[in-house]
Chain A
């Protein structure tokens, strides 16, 4: 059922290794929860009111691979991305990420409304592990990319929502991390900026980054990715070259 691919014949060790990973969520917030459940370590049993968002997912990613995650809404794509970003933890199995990650997930999350754009850039880049000197060196680049040079000392809350996303993308995409995770964040922003973001991603890919990309857009997937992961009903159905994965997805869910 899982066709392991060997598209990239790079012989270095995997940078991402997910083995038998599963994560469980509660169906609704109100379902009963008691102290005992809270403190039990990983438990395999599914309790009423819970469902597995992902289960028995295994794959490895080698450095430099570009992976597209395909599936309908609610089939666990974003959850998988978050597991790889290690912002949520698996209930069973293991997720091993051997290198730094630049997560383009909820990119505006670290920005503080009351601080200026300048302070925010230093804060967010710093939290993602950049040193002050590195930020100093890239500050100009970041601001140029976001095209908001006139707003450096404006409080973040006074920016338009487009500008907010632009500056956030500019910061995260400047992180010198070997793995890049992209959720459908880029759906926002105007067309010109989106194209700019995509060019930046291509640039990063050409520089040897590993890409993990979640999207519904077939064109984007084909543009960046070589390998696809097809998620359906919480499990990994197909792991194959992106063309095959998209073909199967379209066959099953009849997108033209």
Chain B
């Protein structure tokens, strides 16, 4: 037992990466659900409350028609992925700082600290979909063939999130102010993205510029499952381009700052 036991089939770097990523993601979820009594309910309560508020404001208080009927389904189709985006990006601001001790003692590839946040928030997003289904059934919204595009939306959003995370996470280590700036930017982005409204509701001319927001295209994909009219291929194309550019930029920033980050934390 003391001899150098031959390691059972050695890890390939990829398998090792996947293994660590999965361990950390499971840890995240387990910690979250083992420390709160309501557990899963929390991850859907937040979007539900928000959806309730906007539904009330825009269908009961104001009569101005934005979006499509049933409005609650229209809202949730973008709100749930927004929760994924919002949660992952704001967690990424602390990706290195919170795990400093672990990062200082293990040499697993450092992109994991961002990717596992994207993954665990993504799993929560998938887990919140039954809520959407419930509302869709109760309001009688019907699913079109466009729902098959769902994996494309998830793929684009993952690319976007990893890109943004790799930019935000290292920079916050050096500029702590950025954490607050990101919170502010997220709040702005909430209203600047087609969540409570659709791309088509924007005034003439603005729609073109809104397409540069990668979330526009991504949400239009999710929405098209129930509302075929929301699918905007121009926005989808733009969001693919912007997401890939951000991913490239993120990888560049990450690799250039890695050694400095390790010294700093």
Q: How far is the CA of A106 from the CA of B103 in the complex (A)?
A: 10
* Majority SS at the chain B contact face: helix
Q: Does A129 lie at the interface of the complex (its beta carbon under 8 Å from any beta carbon of B)?
A: yes
A109 touches B23 (CB 8 A): no
Q: A38-B256, A103-B105 are in contact. Are A178 and B4 (CB under 8 A)?
A: yes
Q: How far is the CA of A26 from the CA of B263 in the complex (A)?
A: 9
Q: Mark B1-45, 1 if CB is under 8 A from A, else 0.
A: 011110110010000100110011001001100110000000000
Which residues of A are found within 8 Å of B104, using beta-carbon distances? 82, 87, 105-106, 109
A39 touches B256 (CB 8 A): yes
* A89–chain B nearest beta-carbon distance, Å: 4
B2 touches A109 (CB 8 A): no
Which residues of A are found within 8 Å of B103, using beta-carbon distances? 87
Q: A105-B104, A110-B102, A127-B24 are in contact. Are A176 and B30 (CB under 8 A)?
A: no
Q: Mark A176-194, 1 if CB is under 8 A from B, else 0.
A: 1010000000000000000
Q: Does B258 lie at the interface of the complex (its beta carbon under 8 Å from any beta carbon of A)?
A: yes
* B24–chain A nearest beta-carbon distance, Å: 7
Q: Does A255 lie at the interface of the complex (its beta carbon under 8 Å from any beta carbon of B)?
A: no
* B42–chain A nearest beta-carbon distance, Å: 15
Which residues of A are found within 8 Å of B64, using beta-carbon distances? none
Q: A114-B34, A127-B106 are in contact. Are A87 and B3 (CB under 8 A)?
A: no
Q: How far is the CA of A89 from the CA of B103 in the complex (A)?
A: 13
B16 touches A114 (CB 8 A): no
Q: How many residues of A contact B (CB 8 A)?
A: 44
Which of A205-213, A218-226, A234-242, A244-252 lies at the interface?
A205-213
B8 touches A134 (CB 8 A): yes
Candidates B2, B16, B31, B258; contact of A129 at CB < 8 Å: B16
Q: Does A8 lie at the interface of the complex (its beta carbon under 8 Å from any beta carbon of B)?
A: no
Which residues of B are found within 8 Å of A25, using beta-carbon distances? 263
Q: A126-B20, A178-B4 are in contact. Are A114 and B35 (CB under 8 A)?
A: yes
A115 touches B260 (CB 8 A): no
7 contacts between A and B (CB under 8 A): A38-B174, A100-B7, A103-B105, A103-B106, A109-B102, A110-B106, A127-B106
